[in-house]
Amino acid sequence: MLKKLLFAILISIPFIVSAQENALPSIPMREHIVYYEKFYRIRNELSKQQVISNAMQWFKGAFPGQPAPILNKNEQSAAVNGTGIFKVNTTAGNYYWLRFKVSMIPGDGILTFRIYNVYEKPIEKGITNEFSKIEYRWWDYRNGYPWSADDKPLFNGLDSGVNALSISLEKKIGKLQPPRFRALALYSTNVEADHVDFAYDAIKFYNKLAVEKGFVIDTTSNWEKLNDDNLKNYQLVIWLNEFPHNEAERRSFEKFMSNGGAWLGFHVSGYNDKDTHWPWFVDFMGGAVFYNNNWPPLPAKMIVDDNKHPVTKDLPKTYTAPINEWYGWKPNPRDNKDVKILVTLAPSNYPLGKKDVIRDGDIPVVWTNTKYKMLYMNMGHGDMNLTSALQNRMFEDAILWLCKK
Ligand code: ZN
Protein backbone atom coordinates (compact mmCIF):
# COMPACT_ATOMS: atom_id res chain seq x y z
CA MET A 1 0.00 0.00 0.00
CA LEU A 2 2.74 2.41 1.00
CA LYS A 3 4.77 1.55 -2.08
CA LYS A 4 1.85 2.34 -4.31
CA LEU A 5 1.29 5.62 -2.59
CA LEU A 6 4.91 6.75 -2.93
CA PHE A 7 4.91 5.82 -6.57
CA ALA A 8 1.89 8.00 -7.15
CA ILE A 9 3.63 10.95 -5.55
CA LEU A 10 6.74 10.31 -7.58
CA ILE A 11 5.08 10.54 -10.91
CA SER A 12 3.04 13.55 -9.96
CA ILE A 13 6.07 15.75 -9.22
CA PRO A 14 8.91 15.27 -11.65
CA PHE A 15 12.11 16.06 -9.89
CA ILE A 16 14.31 18.58 -11.68
CA VAL A 17 17.95 19.01 -10.77
CA SER A 18 19.20 22.53 -11.12
CA ALA A 19 21.87 23.02 -13.77
CA GLN A 20 23.64 25.76 -11.80
CA GLU A 21 26.02 23.47 -10.01
CA ASN A 22 27.99 26.18 -8.24
CA ALA A 23 25.33 28.72 -7.39
CA LEU A 24 23.98 28.90 -3.86
CA PRO A 25 20.36 27.83 -4.13
CA SER A 26 18.16 30.85 -3.51
CA ILE A 27 15.81 29.76 -0.77
CA PRO A 28 13.53 32.59 0.35
CA MET A 29 13.24 33.22 4.09
CA ARG A 30 10.86 35.10 6.30
CA GLU A 31 11.31 35.59 10.04
CA HIS A 32 14.09 32.97 10.02
CA ILE A 33 12.05 30.28 8.34
CA VAL A 34 12.06 29.00 4.76
CA TYR A 35 9.02 30.68 3.28
CA TYR A 36 7.87 30.71 -0.32
CA GLU A 37 5.16 33.18 -1.29
CA LYS A 38 3.79 33.58 -4.79
CA PHE A 39 0.91 35.52 -6.28
CA TYR A 40 -1.51 34.61 -9.06
CA ARG A 41 -3.73 37.00 -10.95
CA ILE A 42 -7.06 35.13 -10.77
CA ARG A 43 -8.69 34.64 -14.17
CA ASN A 44 -11.66 36.97 -14.55
CA GLU A 45 -14.24 34.27 -15.11
CA LEU A 46 -13.49 32.51 -11.80
CA SER A 47 -15.67 33.20 -8.79
CA LYS A 48 -14.15 32.93 -5.33
CA GLN A 49 -15.96 29.63 -4.88
CA GLN A 50 -14.43 28.29 -8.10
CA VAL A 51 -10.98 29.44 -7.05
CA ILE A 52 -11.33 27.48 -3.82
CA SER A 53 -12.56 24.38 -5.58
CA ASN A 54 -9.83 24.62 -8.26
CA ALA A 55 -7.20 25.02 -5.54
CA MET A 56 -8.50 21.91 -3.75
CA GLN A 57 -8.55 19.97 -6.98
CA TRP A 58 -5.00 21.02 -7.75
CA PHE A 59 -3.90 20.00 -4.28
CA LYS A 60 -5.33 16.51 -4.61
CA GLY A 61 -3.59 16.06 -7.96
CA ALA A 62 -0.27 17.47 -6.82
CA PHE A 63 -0.11 15.47 -3.59
CA PRO A 64 -2.05 12.26 -3.99
CA GLY A 65 -2.27 10.30 -0.76
CA GLN A 66 -1.62 13.33 1.42
CA PRO A 67 -4.15 14.38 4.04
CA ALA A 68 -6.97 16.20 2.35
CA PRO A 69 -6.62 19.97 2.18
CA ILE A 70 -8.54 21.76 4.88
CA LEU A 71 -10.95 24.47 3.99
CA ASN A 72 -10.52 27.24 6.51
CA LYS A 73 -13.22 29.72 7.18
CA ASN A 74 -11.87 32.88 8.73
CA GLU A 75 -13.74 36.17 8.98
CA GLN A 76 -14.61 36.70 5.31
CA SER A 77 -12.21 34.73 3.16
CA ALA A 78 -11.75 31.04 2.88
CA ALA A 79 -8.32 29.50 2.49
CA VAL A 80 -7.16 26.07 1.39
CA ASN A 81 -4.50 24.65 3.70
CA GLY A 82 -2.84 21.28 3.52
CA THR A 83 0.37 19.30 3.88
CA GLY A 84 2.38 18.55 0.77
CA ILE A 85 5.31 16.23 0.18
CA PHE A 86 7.77 15.43 -2.59
CA LYS A 87 10.90 13.46 -3.13
CA VAL A 88 14.34 14.80 -3.97
CA ASN A 89 17.09 12.54 -5.27
CA THR A 90 20.53 13.58 -4.14
CA THR A 91 23.82 11.68 -4.34
CA ALA A 92 24.87 8.08 -4.13
CA GLY A 93 21.34 6.79 -4.38
CA ASN A 94 20.18 8.75 -1.31
CA TYR A 95 16.93 10.55 -1.43
CA TYR A 96 14.92 12.87 0.79
CA TRP A 97 11.31 13.44 1.57
CA LEU A 98 10.39 17.09 1.87
CA ARG A 99 7.19 17.75 3.75
CA PHE A 100 5.66 21.21 4.13
CA LYS A 101 2.55 23.27 4.68
CA VAL A 102 0.79 24.60 1.61
CA SER A 103 -1.70 27.41 1.79
CA MET A 104 -3.73 29.13 -0.91
CA ILE A 105 -5.67 32.23 0.00
CA PRO A 106 -7.90 34.00 -2.51
CA GLY A 107 -8.09 37.79 -2.20
CA ASP A 108 -9.21 40.68 -4.34
CA GLY A 109 -8.41 39.20 -7.79
CA ILE A 110 -5.22 37.69 -6.36
CA LEU A 111 -4.42 34.27 -4.98
CA THR A 112 -1.57 34.06 -2.46
CA PHE A 113 0.26 30.73 -2.51
CA ARG A 114 2.59 29.83 0.35
CA ILE A 115 4.90 26.98 1.19
CA TYR A 116 6.48 26.97 4.64
CA ASN A 117 7.24 24.76 7.66
CA VAL A 118 9.47 22.59 5.50
CA TYR A 119 10.81 19.35 7.01
CA GLU A 120 13.37 16.99 5.47
CA LYS A 121 13.76 13.26 6.00
CA PRO A 122 16.83 11.51 4.56
CA ILE A 123 16.43 7.96 3.32
CA GLU A 124 19.77 6.22 3.64
CA LYS A 125 20.65 2.54 3.68
CA GLY A 126 20.69 1.11 7.18
CA ILE A 127 19.92 4.40 8.93
CA THR A 128 16.57 5.40 10.38
CA ASN A 129 15.83 9.10 10.14
CA GLU A 130 12.92 11.23 11.15
CA PHE A 131 11.61 14.47 9.70
CA SER A 132 13.43 17.54 10.99
CA LYS A 133 13.13 21.25 10.28
CA ILE A 134 15.03 22.14 7.15
CA GLU A 135 16.20 25.41 8.72
CA TYR A 136 18.75 23.52 10.89
CA ARG A 137 20.46 22.30 7.81
CA TRP A 138 19.93 25.44 5.71
CA TRP A 139 21.47 27.66 8.38
CA ASP A 140 24.70 25.65 8.41
CA TYR A 141 24.79 25.34 4.64
CA ARG A 142 24.42 29.09 4.15
CA ASN A 143 27.23 29.68 6.58
CA GLY A 144 29.56 27.37 4.70
CA TYR A 145 29.15 24.24 6.81
CA PRO A 146 27.17 21.74 4.72
CA TRP A 147 26.27 18.56 6.55
CA SER A 148 27.12 16.45 3.50
CA ALA A 149 27.45 16.49 -0.27
CA ASP A 150 23.67 16.01 -0.33
CA ASP A 151 22.94 19.54 0.86
CA LYS A 152 23.29 21.36 -2.42
CA PRO A 153 21.15 18.96 -4.48
CA LEU A 154 18.67 18.89 -1.62
CA PHE A 155 18.22 22.67 -1.55
CA ASN A 156 18.23 22.92 -5.32
CA GLY A 157 15.62 20.17 -5.33
CA LEU A 158 13.47 22.08 -2.86
CA ASP A 159 13.64 25.22 -4.94
CA SER A 160 12.96 23.59 -8.29
CA GLY A 161 10.25 21.40 -6.75
CA VAL A 162 8.42 24.42 -5.37
CA ASN A 163 8.78 26.22 -8.70
CA ALA A 164 7.37 23.25 -10.57
CA LEU A 165 4.44 23.13 -8.16
CA SER A 166 3.70 26.82 -8.45
CA ILE A 167 3.82 26.69 -12.25
CA SER A 168 1.41 23.77 -12.32
CA LEU A 169 -1.09 25.81 -10.28
CA GLU A 170 -1.21 28.48 -13.00
CA LYS A 171 -3.45 26.29 -15.16
CA LYS A 172 -6.09 26.22 -12.42
CA ILE A 173 -5.97 29.83 -11.26
CA GLY A 174 -4.25 32.26 -13.62
CA LYS A 175 -0.83 33.74 -14.31
CA LEU A 176 1.87 34.11 -11.69
CA GLN A 177 2.75 37.73 -11.10
CA PRO A 178 5.22 39.57 -8.90
CA PRO A 179 3.90 41.15 -5.69
CA ARG A 180 2.38 44.61 -6.16
CA PHE A 181 5.07 45.96 -3.87
CA ARG A 182 7.11 44.95 -0.86
CA ALA A 183 6.74 46.73 2.47
CA LEU A 184 8.89 46.58 5.58
CA ALA A 185 7.08 47.41 8.83
CA LEU A 186 9.31 48.23 11.79
CA TYR A 187 8.20 48.38 15.40
CA SER A 188 9.55 48.13 18.92
CA THR A 189 8.36 46.01 21.80
CA ASN A 190 10.23 47.87 24.57
CA VAL A 191 8.17 51.05 24.27
CA GLU A 192 4.93 52.26 25.87
CA ALA A 193 2.50 49.32 26.19
CA ASP A 194 -0.24 51.21 24.32
CA HIS A 195 2.13 51.75 21.41
CA VAL A 196 3.02 48.05 21.33
CA ASP A 197 -0.70 47.18 21.28
CA PHE A 198 -1.16 49.35 18.26
CA ALA A 199 1.81 47.79 16.45
CA TYR A 200 0.40 44.28 16.87
CA ASP A 201 -3.06 45.37 15.75
CA ALA A 202 -1.60 47.11 12.70
CA ILE A 203 0.53 44.10 11.76
CA LYS A 204 -2.57 41.91 11.82
CA PHE A 205 -4.51 44.47 9.82
CA TYR A 206 -1.82 44.91 7.14
CA ASN A 207 -1.10 41.19 6.88
CA LYS A 208 -4.73 40.65 6.01
CA LEU A 209 -4.68 43.50 3.51
CA ALA A 210 -1.51 42.09 1.93
CA VAL A 211 -3.33 38.86 1.10
CA GLU A 212 -6.33 40.72 -0.29
CA LYS A 213 -4.27 43.03 -2.47
CA GLY A 214 -1.26 40.87 -3.33
CA PHE A 215 1.66 42.63 -1.73
CA VAL A 216 4.37 41.45 0.63
CA ILE A 217 4.75 42.86 4.11
CA ASP A 218 7.70 41.89 6.26
CA THR A 219 7.60 42.90 9.90
CA THR A 220 10.52 43.25 12.27
CA SER A 221 11.43 44.71 15.63
CA ASN A 222 15.09 44.74 14.62
CA TRP A 223 15.79 48.32 13.55
CA GLU A 224 19.16 47.32 12.14
CA LYS A 225 17.10 46.14 9.17
CA LEU A 226 16.95 49.80 8.28
CA ASN A 227 20.15 49.51 6.23
CA ASP A 228 20.94 50.24 2.58
CA ASP A 229 21.31 46.63 1.59
CA ASN A 230 18.04 45.46 3.10
CA LEU A 231 16.04 48.50 1.98
CA LYS A 232 16.80 47.64 -1.65
CA ASN A 233 14.14 44.92 -1.28
CA TYR A 234 11.34 47.34 -0.42
CA GLN A 235 9.23 50.12 -1.92
CA LEU A 236 7.60 51.08 1.38
CA VAL A 237 8.84 51.44 4.94
CA ILE A 238 6.28 51.64 7.77
CA TRP A 239 7.13 52.82 11.29
CA LEU A 240 4.46 51.57 13.61
CA ASN A 241 5.55 52.89 17.00
CA GLU A 242 9.14 54.11 16.92
CA PHE A 243 11.76 55.99 14.94
CA PRO A 244 15.45 55.15 14.46
CA HIS A 245 17.78 56.36 17.18
CA ASN A 246 21.16 55.68 15.62
CA GLU A 247 22.98 57.57 12.90
CA ALA A 248 23.54 54.65 10.50
CA GLU A 249 19.82 53.79 10.44
CA ARG A 250 18.87 57.43 10.00
CA ARG A 251 21.28 57.88 7.07
CA SER A 252 19.95 54.73 5.35
CA PHE A 253 16.40 55.94 5.75
CA GLU A 254 17.24 59.40 4.35
CA LYS A 255 18.86 57.74 1.34
CA PHE A 256 15.86 55.45 0.86
CA MET A 257 13.46 58.41 0.86
CA SER A 258 15.63 60.58 -1.38
CA ASN A 259 15.76 57.73 -3.89
CA GLY A 260 11.97 57.61 -4.18
CA GLY A 261 11.09 55.15 -1.43
CA ALA A 262 7.76 55.51 0.38
CA TRP A 263 7.10 55.93 4.11
CA LEU A 264 4.07 55.60 6.32
CA GLY A 265 4.49 56.73 9.91
CA PHE A 266 2.06 56.39 12.81
CA HIS A 267 1.74 58.35 16.02
CA VAL A 268 4.98 58.34 18.05
CA SER A 269 7.07 57.50 14.99
CA GLY A 270 6.65 61.16 13.96
CA TYR A 271 7.50 62.43 17.42
CA ASN A 272 10.47 64.75 17.68
CA ASP A 273 11.61 67.37 20.17
CA LYS A 274 14.78 69.22 21.15
CA ASP A 275 16.40 65.92 22.25
CA THR A 276 15.83 64.02 19.00
CA HIS A 277 18.74 65.73 17.19
CA TRP A 278 17.60 64.87 13.68
CA PRO A 279 16.98 68.08 11.70
CA TRP A 280 16.50 66.15 8.45
CA PHE A 281 13.53 64.39 9.98
CA VAL A 282 11.93 67.62 11.22
CA ASP A 283 12.16 68.95 7.67
CA PHE A 284 10.79 65.64 6.33
CA MET A 285 7.81 65.98 8.69
CA GLY A 286 7.13 69.37 7.13
CA GLY A 287 8.69 71.22 10.05
CA ALA A 288 6.35 69.72 12.66
CA VAL A 289 7.77 69.48 16.17
CA PHE A 290 5.81 67.84 18.99
CA TYR A 291 4.14 70.50 21.14
CA ASN A 292 1.36 69.03 23.32
CA ASN A 293 -1.04 66.12 23.79
CA ASN A 294 -4.26 65.16 25.51
CA TRP A 295 -4.42 62.65 28.37
CA PRO A 296 -6.10 60.25 28.85
CA PRO A 297 -6.54 59.02 25.26
CA LEU A 298 -9.96 59.89 23.88
CA PRO A 299 -12.05 59.55 20.75
CA ALA A 300 -12.18 62.79 18.77
CA LYS A 301 -14.05 64.40 15.93
CA MET A 302 -12.03 64.75 12.72
CA ILE A 303 -12.40 67.21 9.87
CA VAL A 304 -11.41 65.76 6.51
CA ASP A 305 -9.65 68.58 4.64
CA ASP A 306 -9.78 66.93 1.23
CA ASN A 307 -12.31 64.26 0.25
CA LYS A 308 -10.87 63.85 -3.22
CA HIS A 309 -7.35 62.87 -2.23
CA PRO A 310 -6.72 59.11 -2.78
CA VAL A 311 -5.92 58.66 0.94
CA THR A 312 -9.12 60.28 2.25
CA LYS A 313 -11.54 59.68 -0.64
CA ASP A 314 -13.49 57.07 1.37
CA LEU A 315 -14.04 59.34 4.38
CA PRO A 316 -16.96 61.72 4.92
CA LYS A 317 -16.38 65.44 5.59
CA THR A 318 -16.26 64.77 9.31
CA TYR A 319 -16.13 61.61 11.40
CA THR A 320 -15.31 60.47 14.91
CA ALA A 321 -11.98 58.69 15.23
CA PRO A 322 -11.62 55.97 17.91
CA ILE A 323 -9.70 56.51 21.15
CA ASN A 324 -6.20 57.88 20.59
CA GLU A 325 -3.72 60.19 22.20
CA TRP A 326 -3.64 63.27 19.96
CA TYR A 327 -0.52 65.36 19.40
CA GLY A 328 -0.31 69.09 18.75
CA TRP A 329 2.60 70.53 16.75
CA LYS A 330 4.63 73.71 16.85
CA PRO A 331 5.66 74.75 14.22
CA ASN A 332 2.42 73.77 12.53
CA PRO A 333 3.08 71.72 9.36
CA ARG A 334 0.19 73.62 7.69
CA ASP A 335 2.48 76.65 7.49
CA ASN A 336 4.79 74.74 5.14
CA LYS A 337 3.83 75.26 1.48
CA ASP A 338 5.03 71.74 0.58
CA VAL A 339 2.72 70.09 3.09
CA LYS A 340 -0.74 68.88 2.20
CA ILE A 341 -2.98 68.41 5.24
CA LEU A 342 -5.61 65.72 4.82
CA VAL A 343 -7.24 65.41 8.26
CA THR A 344 -7.48 67.90 11.15
CA LEU A 345 -8.59 67.66 14.77
CA ALA A 346 -11.96 69.47 14.95
CA PRO A 347 -11.88 72.52 17.29
CA SER A 348 -15.26 71.34 18.63
CA ASN A 349 -13.28 68.73 20.64
CA TYR A 350 -11.73 71.41 22.85
CA PRO A 351 -11.09 71.23 25.70
CA LEU A 352 -9.78 67.69 25.03
CA GLY A 353 -8.33 65.70 27.96
CA LYS A 354 -8.25 65.73 31.74
CA LYS A 355 -4.69 65.44 33.04
CA ASP A 356 -3.26 66.96 29.86
CA VAL A 357 -5.72 69.22 28.09
CA ILE A 358 -5.62 70.51 24.53
CA ARG A 359 -7.52 73.79 24.76
CA ASP A 360 -7.11 75.36 21.33
CA GLY A 361 -5.07 75.49 18.18
CA ASP A 362 -5.06 74.19 14.62
CA ILE A 363 -3.93 70.56 14.91
CA PRO A 364 -3.30 68.58 11.72
CA VAL A 365 -3.65 64.80 12.19
CA VAL A 366 -2.84 63.31 8.77
CA TRP A 367 -0.55 64.95 6.25
CA THR A 368 1.99 64.45 3.50
CA ASN A 369 5.12 66.41 2.70
CA THR A 370 4.76 66.52 -1.08
CA LYS A 371 8.54 66.64 -1.52
CA TYR A 372 8.55 62.96 -0.57
CA LYS A 373 6.41 59.86 -0.98
CA MET A 374 5.40 60.04 2.65
CA LEU A 375 2.34 60.07 4.83
CA TYR A 376 2.08 60.71 8.55
CA MET A 377 -0.95 59.67 10.62
CA ASN A 378 -1.19 60.62 14.26
CA MET A 379 -3.33 57.57 15.08
CA GLY A 380 -1.48 54.76 16.84
CA HIS A 381 -1.98 54.86 20.60
CA GLY A 382 -3.80 51.88 22.16
CA ASP A 383 -5.89 49.03 20.86
CA MET A 384 -8.91 50.92 19.52
CA ASN A 385 -7.41 52.65 16.46
CA LEU A 386 -8.34 49.88 14.05
CA THR A 387 -11.92 49.41 15.26
CA SER A 388 -13.52 51.96 12.93
CA ALA A 389 -14.44 50.46 9.56
CA LEU A 390 -14.61 54.00 8.21
CA GLN A 391 -11.17 55.04 9.36
CA ASN A 392 -9.73 51.65 8.38
CA ARG A 393 -10.45 52.54 4.77
CA MET A 394 -7.97 55.39 5.14
CA PHE A 395 -5.36 52.99 6.57
CA GLU A 396 -5.83 50.81 3.48
CA ASP A 397 -5.97 53.63 0.96
CA ALA A 398 -2.84 55.15 2.50
CA ILE A 399 -0.50 52.36 1.60
CA LEU A 400 -2.07 51.68 -1.78
CA TRP A 401 -1.60 55.36 -2.62
CA LEU A 402 2.01 55.41 -1.39
CA CYS A 403 2.90 52.41 -3.54
CA LYS A 404 0.98 53.29 -6.66
CA LYS A 405 3.27 53.14 -9.67
ZN1 ZN B 1 0.96 57.66 22.54
- Per-residue 3-state assignment (H helix, E strand, C coil) for the chain: CHHHHHHHHHHHCCCCCCCCCCCCCCCCEECCEEEEEEEEECCCCCCHHHHHHHHHHHHHHHCCCCCCCEEEECCCCEEEEEEEEEEEECCCCCEEEEEEEEEEEECCCEEEEEEEEEEEEEEECCECCCCEEHHHHHHHHHCCCCCCCCHHHHHHHHHHHHHHHHHHHHHHHCCEECCCCEEEEECCCCCCHHHHHHHHHHHHHHHHHHHHHCCEEEEECCHHHCCHHHHCCCCEEEECCCCCCCHHHHHHHHHHHHCCCEEEEEHHHHCCCCCCCCHHHHHHCCCCCEEEECECCEEEEEEECCCCCCCCCCCCCEEEEEEECCEEECCCHHHCCCEEEEEEECHHHCCECCCECECCCCCEEEEEECCCEEEEECCCCCCCCCCCHHHHHHHHHHHHHHCCC
pLDDT at 93: 80
**What spacing in Å lies between the alpha carbon of 294 and ligand 1's midpoint?**
10
**What spacing in Å lies between the alpha carbon of 122 and ligand 1's midpoint?**
52
pLDDT at 20: 46
Q: Assess whether pLDDT exceeds 90 at residue 73.
A: no
Which domains are present in the chain? Answer: 2-177 (3.30.530.80), 182-402 (3.40.50.880)
**What spacing in Å lies between the alpha carbon of 159 and ligand 1's midpoint?**
44
Q: 77 pLDDT band (50/70/90 cuts)?
A: low
Q: 24 pLDDT band (50/70/90 cuts)?
A: confident
Q: Assess whether pLDDT exceeds 50 at residue 129.
A: yes
Of residues 108 and 22, the one with the higher pLDDT is: 108
pLDDT at 94: 87
**What spacing in Å lies between the alpha carbon of 4 and ligand 1's midpoint?**
61
pTM of the model: 0.89
**What spacing in Å lies between the alpha carbon of 369 and ligand 1's midpoint?**
22
Q: 91 pLDDT band (50/70/90 cuts)?
A: confident
**What spacing in Å lies between the alpha carbon of 195 and ligand 1's midpoint?**
6
**What spacing in Å lies between the alpha carbon of 87 and ligand 1's midpoint?**
52
**What spacing in Å lies between the alpha carbon of 378 and ligand 1's midpoint?**
9
**What spacing in Å lies between the alpha carbon of 306 and ligand 1's midpoint?**
26
The rounded mean pLDDT for the chain is: 92
| pLDDT tens for each residue of 161-212 | 999 999 999 999 999 999 999 999 999 999 999 999 999 999 999 999 999 9
Q: 71 pLDDT band (50/70/90 cuts)?
A: confident
pLDDT at 124: 85
**What spacing in Å lies between the alpha carbon of 249 and ligand 1's midpoint?**
23
**What spacing in Å lies between the alpha carbon of 267 and ligand 1's midpoint?**
7
Q: Assess whether pLDDT exceeds 70 at residue 18.
A: no
pLDDT at 288: 98
**What spacing in Å lies between the alpha carbon of 382 and ligand 1's midpoint?**
7
| pLDDT tens for each residue of 359-386 | 999 999 999 999 999 999 999 999 999 9
| pLDDT tens for each residue of 312-341 | 999 999 999 999 999 999 999 999 999 999
* Ion ligand 1 nearby residues (CB, 5 A): 325, 381
pLDDT at 23: 67
